[in-house]
Chain A
Amino acid sequence: MGWMRRLRRSLSSGDGTFDEEARFHVDELTEELVRRGLARDDARREAERRFGRVTIARERTADVDMFRWVDDLRRDVRYGLRLLRRNPGFLVLATLCLTVGIGANAAVFSWIEGILLRPFPLVADQDRLCAVVSTNRGGDRGDMSWPDWRDLERSSTLVDAFIADKITGTTLSVGDRAARAPGSMVSANYFDALGVHPILGRGFLPGEDVGRNAHPVTVISYQAWQDRFHGDPDIIGKTQMLNGLPHTIVGVAPPGFYGTFVGYAFQFWVPASMQSQFSAGVYALEDRGASWIEGFVKVKRGVSIEQAQAELSAIMARLEKDYPDTNRGRGIRLYPLWQTPFNNAGAMLPTLGIALGVVLAVLLIACANVGNLLLVRAFARRQEMTIRLSIGAGRGRLVRQLLTEGLMLSAVATVAGLVLANWLRDGLALLTPPRGGIVLRLPGEIDWRVLALSASVAVGATLLFGAVPALVTSRVDLAGALRSESGSVGGSRRAAWLRSTLVVVQIALSVVLLVGAGLLVKSFQAIRTASPGFTTDGVLTTTVDAFTAGYDVGRARVFQDELVDRVRAIPGVQSAALSRSTPFSYATAATSPIAVDNDVPPRDQQPSVEYNTVGPEYFATLGIPIVSGRAFTAADDERAAPVAIVDEAAAAQFWRGADPVGSRVQLKGEWRRVVGLARSVKSRNFLETPRPFMYVPLRQNPAPIVGLHIRTPLAAAAIRPPLVAAIHALDANIAPGELITMREQVDRTTAAQRIALTMLIVFGGVALALAAIGLYGVMSATVAQGARQLALRMALGADASDVLRLVLARGLALSAIGLAIGAAAAFETTRLMGYLLYAVDPRDPGTFAAVLVVVAGSTIAACLVPARRATRTDPIQALRA
C-alpha cells in the first residue's frame, strides 16, 4: 500500500527543522566562497544572499507541509476508530443519543421547510410571495373582493403579479363512493406567475378570468390525469364534468405541483370567471362587497414586504374613499408565506413552534449525555493524555484529537439522523386526520437548506459536547496526574462539577418536557370524556352532494326529502336528519347580521350570529336538547311562516336571559319567529368559547351540499351498503361521502393536540431515559472515584446503610436541584401551549406533582444501583489498590 508507506514517511519527516538544514547549506557555501578568496564576512553575506531570503524558502517548504494537517486528521480518525472499536457500547450509546437528537431536529427542520417556508413545490421565487388578506376596523381578517383585487393590480408598481386563488372543491364519484376533490379558482396569470409550466396543453390565457361562467376550461393535476384518465396522451380538448358543468381540459400540471394551499393537493384549477358555478350560483366577480379571494402577491425583486404593504394600503385607502358603501374600514395586510392565515400554514405554525422547542431540548439533553459519556472516557484516558502531553504533544493537538472523535460521532449520527428524518417526512400527515375524506398533504422537504442546517446543528452539538472533555483534559496537571491514580486527583474535581451540572440540566429539561406532555395527556382525557353538547356515540355522519350532479335548488329539495325518508326506512336506523354544515367539520357555519325585537344594539355595532340550516329531526338525531318551545318539523317548509331556533348563548346575549320563544329575530334581512330554545353546543372544536348560534329550517333556506346524520346502534360498515342503495335508487350518479361516527368527526379536530402530545410523550420519555442514564453514569463514577474514601469510612466503622445514605444523598441533591430548576422553567413556559389545552390549567398542580414524582423516582432508581455497589466495596481491597 503506497500511501501508507508515504504516510509513515511524512510522519517521520518531522525529525528536524528546515532551519538547521538551511544553516548547514549557508555554512557550506560560505566555506566554499572563503576558499575562493572572499573575506569571511563578505562570503557569509554572499552565501545568505544566494540562498535567497531564507524565510521565503522556508515558507515554500512549509507549503509542501500543508499536507501535514491532513496527515494529522487521518491519524486522529484512525486513532478514534480504534478507540471506538475497542468500546462498542460507548459507540452505540453515544451515536444513538446523537441520532435521536439530530434526527429529530432534521425532521422538524424539514417540516418547517416543506410546510412553512417553501410549501409549494415547483413554484419559483417563493421568498417573494406574500399572502394577502383584507382587514376591517375591528381587526378581523377576511378575504379580498375581485374588484378590489383588480384595482390593486392596476395601481401597484411594486408588485410583479397578483395571484388570485380560492380553494374550492367538487365531488367526483368513483363507483359507489363519492370523493371530494380539492381544486382552486384562480386568476388567469396563475401558472405563468408561479413559474409552473403544464406538461401538456397550456395554462390559462389572459382574459379567461373575465365574464360570468364564460370560460369553462380547466387544468388538471398530474395525479388526476393519471388516476382518472390513465395518463391519456390525447386528454387536451376532452371534457370533465365539474359541479354539473362540462369543462374543457386545456392543460395538465407537471407532477409534483400541488397548487398553493398548504395541506391540500389540488386536483384541478378553473379560471376565476367560473366562480359562481363553484359558489352555489352566487355571482361575486362584480360585487365589491363580496369577499372571497385568498391570494398571493409576488413582490418585485428587492422590494420588501413593508414597502409593498405601504403601497397597497395606500391604494386600499383610496378605494375606501371611492367606494364608501362597500369598503368602509377595509384595509389590506400582507404576510410572509409561513404566516399565511388562510391555509394550514397558520394552523401548523404554533405546533411546529412547540416541536422546534421540544427537539432542541432533546438535542441539548443528548449533547449533555454524550458530553458526559466522553467525560467518563476522558477520565479513563487521563493517563494516556498526560503521557502524550509530557512527550511533547501540543495541548491544541489533544483538543483537536478529542474534537475529531466527537465529529466522527456526529457525522455518523447525522447520516443516521437524516435517514430518520426522511422516514418522518410524512409523520405530520399521518398524525393529522383526513378532512372531509381528503387526506392532507403535509410533507417534510429535505433540501440543501435542511441538510446544511442539520449539518451545522451537528457541528454545534459536537462543539457543545466535545468541548466538555476537552476543557477538562487539556488542563491536566502533568505532575499531579502522572502520580498514580488515587482518591482525588487534580482536575477530577472540575470534571465532577461539570458532570453534575450536565445532569442537572438534563433533569431540568426532562421535567419541562414531561410537564408539557402531562398537561396534554390531561387535556386529552378531558376532551375524551367531555361532551360537545350533542351525542357522539351511535350517530353516523356523511355528506350527500346533489349540486355537483347538476341539481338545482328545487330538484335538490325533492331529492333531499325523499333521501331522508328512505334512510329512515333502513332497518336499524332510529332517525336521520340533514344539515347544511356538520358540527366539528372544516366547513364553518354561515354568519349573518342579526336584529332582535326590543334589543337595540349600540349605534356603531352590527351584531352577527352564526347559524346552521337543518332539517326536521336534526335535534333528535344529534341529541341536542330543546330547552323550551319545539324543534323543527316537516311542516316548517317554504310555504309556512319563517321560523328559527336560538341557542342559550344567543338567548343570553340578545334576550338578556329571557325566554326568546315567541319573539322575532331578523336573519339575512328576513324576520323569523323564534319557536324553540336549544342547549348550546360546540360547533367547531372543544376549545372555542361559546358564541351565539341559531338554526333555521332547511326547507326555508335550501342548501345544495348537505351533511346527513344517522342515529343507529349499527356500525358504519353495516349502514353503508343500504345507504348507497337508497341513494342510488334516487339517482345512480350520486354517492355518499365518507361515512364516519360523530365521535370520529369530533376526534379529528384534535389533530394539533395529538401531534404535540405524541411529540412531547415520545421525547419526554427519551429525555427522562437519557437523564437517568446520565445520572447513573455520574453516580457510578462518583462511587468508583470515591472508593478509597468509602473504604476508609467503612474501615473506621461505617456500616452499609451509612454508605448507602452518603451516596444517595449526593445523587438526590443533584436530582433535587434539577427538579427545582425544571419545575420553575415549566411553570414559566407551559402557558405558551395554552391554546392546546382543554379544561386544564397550564400550571396544573396535579400534573406538576405527578411529573416530579416520576422524575424523582427515576433518579432514585438511577442512583440506587451505584449506591448499592458502593456498600459492597471491600475496604481492604479498595485501600490497598
Chain B
Amino acid sequence: MAIFRRRKPDALQGTLDLLVLKILSRGPHHGYGIAADITAISDDLLRVEEGSLYPALHRMEHLGWIVADWQTTANNRRARVYRLTRAGDRQLAQQRDKWARVTKGVAKVLRFA
C-alpha cells in the first residue's frame, strides 16, 4: 500500500535504525535501555538524541520491523518494551550489508585521495 511505503531514510537516520535494530537483536529492550546501551557499547562515542530515538522507534513500529508492549521492569515499573520482528531481522541484515558497503567505499576513497 502506497501509504505505507517507507520514505527514503537519510544516511543518519539509517544509521540510527541500524544501531537500534542491532541492540534489539540481542533481546527486547525499552527506549531508555536502547539509548543507554548504544552509549555504553560505543564507549561514549555515540550518543543518541531522545528526540530522534522515539520517532525512529515509532516509525519502525509502523513499518513492522519492531513491536512493542508494556511490561513491568525489574524495579516494578511499567515500560514500553520493543522487540525485533522477522521483518526487522531481515532489515537488520540488509542494513548491515549496506553499512559495510558504504564504509568500505568511503575508506577506499579516503585511501585514494
A and B bind: yes
**CB pair B31 A21 closer than 8 Å:** yes
Q: A24-B30, A51-B51 are in contact. List 6 more A-B contacts (CB 8 A).
A: A6-B4, A24-B31, A24-B80, A32-B36, A50-B50, A61-B58
Stretch of A8-16, A405-413, A840-848, A859-867 contacting B (4+ beta carbons < 8 Å): A8-16
Stretch of A52-60, A482-490, A617-625, A693-701 contacting B (4+ beta carbons < 8 Å): A52-60
Chain A minimum-CB-distance residue to B59:
A64
Chain A's nearest CB lies how many Å from the CB of B32? 4
Kindly state whether residue B61 has any CB partner on chain A within 8 Å.
yes
Kindly state whether residue A25 has any CB partner on chain B within 8 Å.
yes
**CB pair B50 A27 closer than 8 Å:** no
Kindly state whether residue A638 has any CB partner on chain B within 8 Å.
no
**CB pair B78 A22 closer than 8 Å:** no
- Residues of chain A lying within 8 A (CB to CB) of residue B35: 25
Chain A's nearest CB lies how many Å from the CB of B80? 5
Interface code B69-113, partner A: CB below 8 Å = 1, 0 otherwise? Answer: 110000001111000000000000000000000000000000000
Kindly state whether residue A28 has any CB partner on chain B within 8 Å.
yes
Using known A-B contacts A50-B50, A67-B3, determine if residue A9 contacts B61 with beta carbons closer than 8 Å. yes
- Residues of chain A lying within 8 A (CB to CB) of residue B32: 24-25, 28-29
A-B contact pairs, 21 of them (CB 8 A): A3-B4, A5-B64, A9-B67, A24-B31, A24-B78, A24-B80, A25-B32, A25-B50, A28-B33, A28-B36, A32-B36, A51-B51, A52-B51, A56-B51, A60-B55, A61-B58, A64-B55, A64-B58, A67-B3, A67-B4, A67-B62
**CB pair B49 A52 closer than 8 Å:** yes
Chain A's nearest CB lies how many Å from the CB of B106? 29
Q: CB < 8 Å: which of A6, A20, A50 contacts B62?
A: A6
Q: CB < 8 Å: which of B33, B55, B69 contacts A61?
A: B55
Kindly state whether residue A718 has any CB partner on chain B within 8 Å.
no
Q: CB < 8 Å: which of A5, A6, A18, A57 contacts B51?
A: A57
Binding site for A on B (CB under 8 A): 1, 3-4, 30-33, 35-36, 49-51, 54-55, 58-59, 61-64, 67-70, 77-80
Using known A-B contacts A28-B32, A65-B58, A67-B62, determine if residue A60 contacts B51 with beta carbons closer than 8 Å. yes
**CB pair A6 B63 closer than 8 Å:** yes
Kindly state whether residue A232 has any CB partner on chain B within 8 Å.
no
**CB pair A63 B3 closer than 8 Å:** no
- Residues of chain B lying within 8 A (CB to CB) of residue A6: 4, 62-64
- Secondary structure of the A contact surface, majority rule: helix
**CB pair B77 A13 closer than 8 Å:** no
Kindly state whether residue A2 has any CB partner on chain B within 8 Å.
yes
Kindly state whether residue A70 has any CB partner on chain B within 8 Å.
yes
Docked complex Cα distance between A57 and B35 (Å): 15
- Residues of chain A lying within 8 A (CB to CB) of residue B77: 24, 27
- Residues of chain A lying within 8 A (CB to CB) of residue B58: 13, 18, 61, 64-65
Using known A-B contacts A24-B79, A52-B49, A61-B58, determine if residue A15 contacts B4 with beta carbons closer than 8 Å. no
Chain A's nearest CB lies how many Å from the CB of B70? 6
**CB pair A20 B80 closer than 8 Å:** yes
Residue of B32, B49, B79 contacting most chain A CB atoms (<10 Å): B32
Docked complex Cα distance between A18 and B50 (Å): 13
Docked complex Cα distance between A29 and B31 (Å): 11
Chain A minimum-CB-distance residue to B75:
A31
- Residues of chain A lying within 8 A (CB to CB) of residue B67: 9
**CB pair A13 B54 closer than 8 Å:** no
Chain B's nearest CB lies how many Å from the CB of A754? 51
Chain A's nearest CB lies how many Å from the CB of B40? 11
Docked complex Cα distance between A15 and B70 (Å): 9
Interface code A350-385, partner B: CB below 8 Å = 1, 0 otherwise? Answer: 000000000000000000000000000000000000
**CB pair B62 A10 closer than 8 Å:** yes
- Residues of chain B lying within 8 A (CB to CB) of residue A50: 50
Docked complex Cα distance between A20 and B32 (Å): 12
Docked complex Cα distance between A101 and B35 (Å): 60
Chain A's nearest CB lies how many Å from the CB of B16? 13
- Residues of chain B lying within 8 A (CB to CB) of residue A52: 49-51
Chain A minimum-CB-distance residue to B68:
A13
**CB pair A57 B80 closer than 8 Å:** no
- Residues of chain A lying within 8 A (CB to CB) of residue B68: 13
**CB pair A16 B70 closer than 8 Å:** yes
**CB pair B55 A57 closer than 8 Å:** yes
Chain B's nearest CB lies how many Å from the CB of A601? 81
- Residues of chain A lying within 8 A (CB to CB) of residue B63: 6
Chain B's nearest CB lies how many Å from the CB of A386? 30
Chain A minimum-CB-distance residue to B56:
A64
Chain B's nearest CB lies how many Å from the CB of A67? 6
Docked complex Cα distance between A567 and B36 (Å): 112
Chain B's nearest CB lies how many Å from the CB of A370? 30
Chain B minimum-CB-distance residue to A58:
B54
Docked complex Cα distance between A314 and B30 (Å): 84
Docked complex Cα distance between A51 and B31 (Å): 12
Interface code A95-127, partner B: CB below 8 Å = 1, 0 otherwise? Answer: 000000000000000000000000000000000
- Residues of chain A lying within 8 A (CB to CB) of residue B70: 15-16
Using known A-B contacts A13-B68, A24-B30, A64-B59, determine if residue A57 contacts B4 with beta carbons closer than 8 Å. no
- Residues of chain B lying within 8 A (CB to CB) of residue A2: 64
- Residues of chain B lying within 8 A (CB to CB) of residue A13: 58, 61-62, 68
Chain A's nearest CB lies how many Å from the CB of B41? 16
Residue of A18, A25, A50, A61 contacting most chain B CB atoms (<10 Å): A25
Chain B's nearest CB lies how many Å from the CB of A773? 39
Chain B's nearest CB lies how many Å from the CB of A846? 62
Q: CB < 8 Å: which of B30, B54, B80 contacts A16?
A: B80
- Residues of chain A lying within 8 A (CB to CB) of residue B1: 3
